[in-house]
Each structure stands twice: as structure tokens, then as C-alpha cells.
Structure 1
Amino acid sequence: MVTPDELEKRFTLLTATARYDDLRAREALASWARDDSGETGDADPYTPPPLTREEALEALALGEVIARKAAYGRQLAVRSARAAGASWSQIGAALGTSKQAAWEAHSRWIDDQAERHRRDGYSGMDEQYSAAARVLAGELDAGPTPDDDGAPPPVR
């Protein structure tokens, strides 16, 4: 059986989403051709077959891989924004959340990356890298910076 941990090593975000999209499109086309009983009956011979159990589980695992890789990419973008001088208010606004929620999520991510490295010795961030990430993240802003308009993030 395929697992997200196994697939995460084999797929990039781009290839995982392409494979996921292929499986979901095939399932959508196959389910459209089924009647209410679940049988395909006299379906168009060009209609793809429904997903096998293994493919359905692969699609589920790929969804998890995509979520993980997207979350990792999001935190790398947060790190880049901090390195470019963005305040936590600006980052929160860009994420559609508060500065506190953005800072807390990024701090938890750094802690998680450090823990991953402590567990297996190769993934995540080692002590030196996680310490540097914490310095870059800094403390939660006490107030708006001179280039920050102080406006709250948009309401979703």
C-alpha cells in the first residue's frame, strides 16, 4: 500500500498535483458514465474505467503529499518575506490572517522541522539552521513598522 511518506520522496509538488489531477479527472469521467446502481451499462467505450482501490488510495495519499508540500512552500515564502524585510502584520495580511496567527504558525513550523531532524537526522532543519530561522522570524511585532499601514487583514 502506498503512503504519503513514500510518495513525498518520489514526487515534487508539480508532479504530485499532475498525477492527482489525472486520477481525479479519470474518476470524475468514470463516475459520470455510471448509472444510479454503480454499473457502467452501455457506457461509451472511450469512457475510462473507475479507479482501482490502489489508485483511489494513491489519490488520497497524493492529496496529503500536496498539502504537506504546499504548507512547506508557504513557510518558505514566509521566510523569504521576512528576509526581504516584511513585518508580521504584512505577512499576516498577505496570508489573510492576523500577524499573531502567521507568526505562531511559522514558529510551530520551525519547531516541527527541528523535531523532524532530531528524530531522523536528515529531514527538517538541524539545530544551526533552525536557530537561524528563529532569528529571522524574530519576535511578534509590537506594532506597525514605518512601512506597515497597520490595516487589519481582509475579512474572509
Structure 2
Amino acid sequence: MPISASKTFIERQARVVGYHDKGIVVEVRASAGCTQCAKGQGCGAGLLSRPRAWQLEIDLPPSSRGEPLPPVDSEVTVAMQKASITQLTGLIYGLPLLMGLVVAAIGSVVSDSTWLAPGLFFGVLMCGMVGLKYVLGQRAEFFRPQLIDAP
């Protein structure tokens, strides 16, 4: 069931609160503080913690489905790859912004209209965000935390 943990993962402790058809439901507790965040060097751990505890469904890989599931109220470790957090951040923030800037620049060169470039920028920005929501929804499993340690 567990995958190997290394420095490429952001890890959080969680408590098993239930089960679903493909795995377990865990409650991730908020961390008291992150030393990297205190230094101003964000690590993306905020994706795995909230001000209060929150529940998350963790799918188990098909190879481990024959093994016994962790009991309710047991402590497990969940992790998310740092590379996937970086990719997700680039896709969500960088790609729509870059597309909006490029289309707005082309619009300002093509036309002398005062409001064409800002209109194109915000239109492409909104369409890009909506489009990414649907595209990333199909690949959401790549950006979900995984179970790395269970009793």
C-alpha cells in the first residue's frame, strides 16, 4: 500500500474517518506552522492543510486493493508530489495570464480601439480559466494526495 517517501513529496498526517468504494476517507489536520513559510519560502504545503481539519478521499491503487484497509481512527501519512504542485500552479496562474497577454498584444497591434486590448485580455483570461477547469478535471488524479504510510 505505501509508496516510497522522499524529499520530492509534501507530507501531512491524517486520521482515517471512513471508507469509500475505491479507498479511504481521511481527515487532514491543520499544521501549526511551516518553517519554510515562516522564512518566506513557500513549499505548497497549504494545499494539504487548512485552518481547520478537512476530509479528503484517498483512492488506493488497484494493486493494493486486496490488502486490508487501515482501521478507522488510525493515523496515516498522505503526500503530494512537489512537482505536481509546481505544474498545477503554472497551469492555473501562468498559462491563462500568458495567453491573455499575447492575445491582448496582438489585438493592440491589429486595431487602434482603446478597449479592444483590455477586453481581449480579460476575455481570454476568463475563457482560459474555465477551459482549464474542465481539462484539469479529467486529469485530477495526478494532482491528488496519495497514501504513503498506513498501519
Q: TM-score, normalised by structure 2?
A: 0.29
Bigger relative contact order, structure 1 or 2 (CA pairs below 8 A, ≥6 apart): 2
Greater Cα radius of gyration, structure 1 or 2: 1
Higher strand content, 1 or 2: 2
Higher helix content, 1 or 2: 1
Q: TM-score, normalised by structure 1?
A: 0.29
